[in-house]
Amino acid sequence: MTLPKTPSFRLDGKRALVAGASSGIGTGCAVALAEAGAHVTLAARREAPLQALADKMGAEGFSVDILPLDVADIAATDTALSANGPFDILVNSAGLARHTPALDTTPQDYDAVSDLNVKGAYFLTRAVARGLVEAQKPGSLINISSQMAHVGGIDRAVYCATKHAVEGFTKSMAIEWGKRGIRVNTICPTFIRTPLTEQTFDNPERVAWIEEKIKLGRIGEVSDIMGAVTYLASEASSLVTGTSLLIDGGWTAD
């Protein structure tokens, strides 16, 4: 009898692009991929935080460089990825939220959120996939979505709409590129403690709502995402595509 062998979670020799890498979940994803052996390109709009992160990661012995990038600028993103790719792995953690009651949503807020969360994510994913197709390489493309892609949320009509859209194009792209060995998935976190979520956690009513919904009884941490992104980026998930990995503490279980 020959025992089965666990596929490798290692990413040695792989190039990974992490958009939105300068803080929060993006930073956690970048570190996780680097720990697994990937060369990580850190991308975000602001160069100074990227360089600071690259310096810290480099000091730990990780292979890393930076690429200042505004994902909402489609033409510039296409040009940058054409010049710097192909990337074997994409993690898109760039995103925006402007939470208001639906009756108070402005067209400006709607456009700002959807331009980044949907349009930017769509064309960034396409740009990385195009590089893989041209190089005739397989790859793993991961968009950081949200549990709100599967449920509704208070004051989150626009945000929920954008994340539901990400789930839709993820499935379609996975179908289209599957025979090329390009996998496309999402990670859907619950509320994660980051600088961007501080305002939510300062609201006692919101905290009570969150704690009631999360069945495991605690707020998410960035570290909760790190194992998941390594899994989806690696050969350990080689038969996983067109789906979402929910890291929600049981929020969507009922």
List the catalytic residue out of 110, 122, 159, 231.
Answer: 159
DSSP per position, the chain: -PPP-PPP---TT-EEEEETTTSHHHHHHHHHHHHTT-EEEEEES-HHHHHHHHHHHHHTT--EEEEE--TT-HHHHHHHHHHH---SEEEE---------GGG--HHHHHHHHIIIIIIHHHHHHHHHHHHHHHT--EEEEEE--GGGTS--TT-HHHHHHHHHHHHHHHHHHHHHGGGTEEEEEEEE--B-SGGGHHHHT-HHHHHHHHHH-TTSS-B-THHHHHHHHHHHSGGGTT--S-EEEESTTGGG-
Active site residue 231: no
Residues marked as catalytic: 159
